[in-house]
Structure 1
Amino acid sequence: MTDHGHPESALQAAFLQHDSTLAPSSRVPGEDDSAVYRTLLESTKAIPWKIDWATMEFAYIGPQIEALLGWAPSTWKTVNDWAERMHPDDREAVVNFCVAQSKAGTDHEADYRALTRDGGYVWLRDVVHVVRNDKGDVEALIGFMFDISERKRTEEKLAQLQRELEHLSFHDSLTGAGNRRMFDEVIERTWSAAQESGKALSLIMVDIDFFKSYNDYYGHLQGDECLKRVARLLGEAAGPDHFLGRFGGEEFVLVLANTEADTAVRIAEQCRTLIAEEAIAHVRSPHQQRVTASFGVGTIVPTGRTDRTAFVNLVDAQLYHAKENGRNRIAAVDRAGMQGEAFKAYSR
């Protein structure tokens, strides 16, 4: 193995053979080949290297590696040093990929986090060329390491921005609950899953009582705070396994997968209780001058003969019944109600 501080002639020949920019015609007459290649290889930010396939030893690695990672060129002896100086989360996949591609004689690239001598990590991209002998057997690997940390940071910022934009496109900006667009996707997905599993699907529609009067008396800023507080309480009652969305204005909706009728009514009652206990002042409400809400609840096991939109409309009708019968109460319909639209009213 040659000294790690100087490119060997085989590496020079390989770069000369496979990179037209280093062709003999581009060299300055009279220049010493060794000096030319040493200058080219060691002045670039890309870090050149060569591995002998038979011994799996580094024949050469550029001195730039020490400035970037802190490891001197002399410490890069075998491919084990390369693998061990890789983030544990990246190591297995990257090593397996590079070995498989190299055995197949296929040029390839790999991105991974390389360990620095002080314990940090730098994102690298290895661009690898497989060198074969006259018989077609793999003889060596030559390539360049590139520092792509800045690119990765930019990609992560863009990915984070994309996640934020997706979140905004599916969530109500005021309350943080899902918006109507997200509700449409959730109810479609949940309906299909319930149809396949044969399990019950429940829906709860919620409307804050006398909310226009609340806004007129307290102002829209206070009205916004009321909406946020009610959304938080509904989320607490529904829990993380169920979907909460803002259906529009002062109306919310909960989609309860795998939930029978009795459980759905209990969740609605818990929502109603939490809102009452929050004791949000509402001087224009006849219900103890506090903010209250009305609830429509429906439960169904979807089949090929049932219609999702009709079910949503039926639950919305239950909400209307609750409001028409005095507000601050629950009107519920179960599977049998899909034919008769019967409902039950619950109140304190």
Structure 2
Amino acid sequence: MNDLTLPDPGVEHVRDALGDAGVYKALLESTKAIPWKIDWASKRFAYIGPQIEALLGWPQGSWQTVEDWAARMHPEDRDRVVGYCVSQSQAGVDHEADYRAMTRDGHYVWIRDVVHVVRRPDGEVDSLVGFMFDISERKKAEEELLRLHRELEQLSMTDGLTGIANRRMFDLRLENEWGEARRSGNPLSLVILDIDRFKQYNDAHGHVAGDECLKRIAGVLRGLAQRARDVVARFGGEEFILLLPDADEDAAGRMAAACVDAIADLRIPHAGAGAGIGGFVTASLGVGTARPGPDAAARAFVAAVDQVLYAAKSGGRNRIEMLEQG
């Protein structure tokens, strides 16, 4: 076979080197990629491969102008893709664009357009040539990977036993809400709740019952925190924490009281030593409200509320203690 020396990778040189326009055309139309050419001055298709009909259903002859191309694009993609391609073409920059193209029967196929800008000797844009590629399967794979990533991310932020937020999620949300409270001057409240004598509960009822107890309490706490920015998290062991943005002392106190009532309404029997009131599971709560200044630290606030929780426990349990405002 004779070597072909191609002085330039451009389309015309390839055709000249092959020496047969029919062979050149057959090569282009035998690939799954769809070749096309647009005259820049008229914005009309000079050519588009017949493969377009097999992919999208639109007849080859129906691709007359760039308006046909734009009209057959998903509305959510159209402005972004058309604006990008026009600006890059005007600048004479080769580019790629991914978008959803509409089939003749109203479905959509993911397309990647790879565009080469052809210039005249004076530097002005003469035409655009390129290939369309069907990337639907690749997009499906990417979307599946993204879905799995989101699921894994969600799992990493969720307590495996109770299904509520875990400590990692709480720490992230606290950092964000602390910064927002500092900027806005609005209050931020915490309720930290610890199940009374939970070790004795496990000893008396077993760890399976202990897990069920934790899940039931997590469920009622989640039901109480209805606002979009509220966070209910398992803080560790038998300890739960509620993050309440834009909640002042009164609102936080009402939430704590509602938690006590909701746990009492569960009437979970506690047969262990030193069981709660009436032989049912109870909890102790610490409550605090902060209005963060420039030097205030979120961790110090959490530690302070945790201290009043333990004051509630040492003061007799099944109690609410409020952090005094400095």
* Superposition TM-score, scaled by structure 2 size: 0.91
1:150 matched to which residue of 2? 137
1:76 matched to which residue of 2? 63
Determine the C-alpha separation between the residues in 2 that align with 1:252 and 1:58: 65
The alpha carbon displacement at 1:237 in A equals 1.3
Is 1:314 the counterpart of 2:304? The answer is yes
1:291 to 277, 281, 287: 281
Determine the C-alpha separation between the residues in 2 that align with 1:199 and 1:114: 48
2:3 matched to which residue of 1? none
Determine the C-alpha separation between the residues in 2 that align with 1:99 and 1:26: 30
Residue identity opposite 1:290 in structure 2: F
Identity fraction in percent:
56
Determine the C-alpha separation between the residues in 2 that align with 1:231 and 1:85: 50
Residue identity opposite 1:275 in structure 2: I
1:244 matched to which residue of 2? 232
Equivalent residues of 1:204, 1:295 under 8 A apart:
yes
Is 1:48 the counterpart of 2:21? The answer is no
The alpha carbon displacement at 1:320 in A equals 0.9
More moved, 200-209 vs 219-228: 219-228
Is 1:325 the counterpart of 2:325? The answer is no
The alpha carbon displacement at 1:327 in A equals 1.7
**CA RMSD, Structure 1 to Structure 2 (Å):** 2.1
Indicate the SS of the match to 1:48.
strand
Determine the C-alpha separation between the residues in 1 that align with 2:13 and 2:117: 19
Residues 180-191 of structure 1 mapped to structure 2, 5 A cutoff: 180-191=167-178
The alpha carbon displacement at 1:280 in A equals 2.4
Equivalent residues of 1:209, 1:328 under 8 A apart:
yes
Is 1:109 the counterpart of 2:74? The answer is no
The change in CA–CA distance for 1:89 and 1:247 in structure 2 (over 3 A counts) is same
The alpha carbon displacement at 1:246 in A equals 1.0
The alpha carbon displacement at 1:266 in A equals 0.3
Indicate the SS of the match to 1:288.
helix
Indicate the SS of the match to 2:189.
strand
Deviations 1:3-36 (A, max 9, x none): xxxxxxxxxxxxx8853799569956xxx61221
The change in CA–CA distance for 1:50 and 1:18 in structure 2 (over 3 A counts) is farther
1:222 matched to which residue of 2? 209
Is 1:123 the counterpart of 2:77? The answer is no
Determine the C-alpha separation between the residues in 1 that align with 2:154 and 2:57: 41
Is 1:303 the counterpart of 2:264? The answer is no
Residue identity opposite 1:277 in structure 2: D
The change in CA–CA distance for 1:286 and 1:104 in structure 2 (over 3 A counts) is closer
The alpha carbon displacement at 1:43 in A equals 0.8
Residue identity opposite 1:249 in structure 2: G
Determine the C-alpha separation between the residues in 1 that align with 2:169 and 2:130: 48
The change in CA–CA distance for 1:266 and 1:37 in structure 2 (over 3 A counts) is same
Determine the C-alpha separation between the residues in 2 that align with 1:307 and 1:68: 59
Is 1:140 the counterpart of 2:130? The answer is no
Equivalent residues of 1:300, 1:334 under 8 A apart:
no
Residue identity opposite 1:133 in structure 2: R
Residue identity opposite 2:221 in structure 1: L
Indicate the SS of the match to 1:253.
strand
Structure 1, unmatched stretches of 5+, are 1-15, 337-348
Equivalent residues of 1:261, 1:334 under 8 A apart:
no
Determine the C-alpha separation between the residues in 1 that align with 2:157 and 2:216: 20
The change in CA–CA distance for 1:228 and 1:22 in structure 2 (over 3 A counts) is farther
Deviations 1:108-141 (A, max 9, x none): 1100000011211100000011111122211111
